[in-house]
Amino acid sequence: MPINGAVPGADDTLGGRIVAAREARGLSTAQLARRLGVKSATLQNWESDRSEPRSNKLSMLAGLLNVSPTWLINGRGEPPSGFDAGPIDVPQTRLQLIEIRRKADRLVADIDALLARLD
pTM beyond 0.85, yes or no: no
The average pLDDT across 88-94 equals 77
Q: What is the model's pLDDT at position 78?
A: 73
pLDDT class of 81 with cuts at 50, 70, 90: low
Q: What is the model's pLDDT at position 22?
A: 93
Domain count within the chain: 2
Same domain, 104 and 83: no
Q: Which of 23-27, 92-96, 113-117 has the lowest mean pLDDT?
A: 92-96
Helix axis angle, 29-36 to 40-47, nearest 10°:
110
Q: What is the model's pLDDT at position 64?
A: 93
Dist CA 81 CA 105 (whole Å): 36
How far lies 28's CA from each of 44, 87, 102, 116, in Å? 11, 26, 40, 55
Domain range for 114: 89-119
Same domain, 80 and 95: no
Same domain, 70 and 106: no
Q: What is the model's pLDDT at position 76?
A: 81
